[in-house]
């Protein structure tokens, strides 16, 4: 599944009680997300920008996506870089929601 298809989906509420994605499912979804990787059970990517203003503009746009999807990443913000980590707390692993949000961030950068 490519990031355009994933990015057009909406996150589904997750209150637990469902299994985390299998390694095979994670690998299938990861193929469409350039530069994203999985480590320690989290989907992550380091975004680099030209300056602090661009990094903060990205964080603000990311906050809008997170609010709209009701799915929030762990962020580490530096001067010109933003590390984004997604995982679904309610299931203790990765869900499709994590990949949907990652794809939506990729679409932001195309605008």
Give, in words, the CATH class of 1-7+41-111.
alpha beta
Q: Which residues contact 94 (CB under 8 A, 6 or more apart)?
A: 20, 21, 26, 38, 41, 42, 43, 86, 87, 88
**What is the pTM assigned to this prediction?**
0.90
Structure confidence by residue, pLDDT tens digits, 10-53? 887 777 778 999 999 999 999 989 999 999 999 999 999 999 99
Does the pLDDT at position 2 exceed 60? no
Does the pLDDT at position 86 exceed 80? yes
CB count, 10 Å around CB of 48? 10
Residue ranges covered by each domain of the chain: 1-7+41-111
């Amino acid at each position: 599944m490519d990031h355009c298809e994933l990015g057009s989906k909406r996150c589904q509420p997750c209150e637990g009680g469902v299994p985390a994605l299998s390694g095979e499912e994670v690998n299938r979804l990861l193929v469409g997300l350039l530069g994203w990787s999985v480590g320690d059970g989290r989907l992550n990517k380091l975004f680099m920008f030209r300056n602090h203003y661009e990094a903060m503009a990205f964080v603000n746009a990311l906050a809008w996506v997170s609010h709209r999807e009701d799915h929030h990443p762990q962020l580490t913000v530096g001067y010109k870089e933003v590390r984004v980590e997604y995982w679904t707390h309610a299931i203790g692993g990765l869900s499709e929601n994590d990949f949907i949000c990652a794809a939506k961030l990729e679409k932001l950068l195309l605008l």
